[in-house]
Structure 1
Amino acid sequence: MTQVNDCKYNALITQGYTGNITRMWYEHLGSMGLTGNVSERELAWLGGLGYTGHLNDRWESY
């Protein structure tokens, strides 16, 4: 299951995060600059949101 701290989770919810990287959420990330190729730069950007490294993995608290 998704594991994020409350502060980070609330921030993600504010951005439209539903708990899973659904197509809708993935497209929302695209509108924020994610191209879909998930380059190193984009992985670093996702990491800044707490992303652990796999689109179907999980988000963790620090």
Structure 2
Amino acid sequence: MEKPALEIWKESPIFKALRNRSNLKGYCASCRYRETCGGCRARALAYTGDLFVSDLCVPLYS
């Protein structure tokens, strides 16, 4: 059964969790740009296995 992309975006638990910036951890959780940036969740997952940890490749990370 196919679903429209918008429906998947609205209903998927993982997409809901990704939109909730309070799930971010580490540097990204306290960054003043977290609402507009949030880091790259795909890169965080690839490097650490956790979608919500800090993205260490963000230029503002120090």
Q: Same fold (TM over 0.5)?
A: no
Q: State the structure with more CA Rg.
A: 2
Q: Give the number of the structure whose residues are more often helix, by fraction.
A: 2
Q: TM-score range by the shorter chain?
A: under 0.3
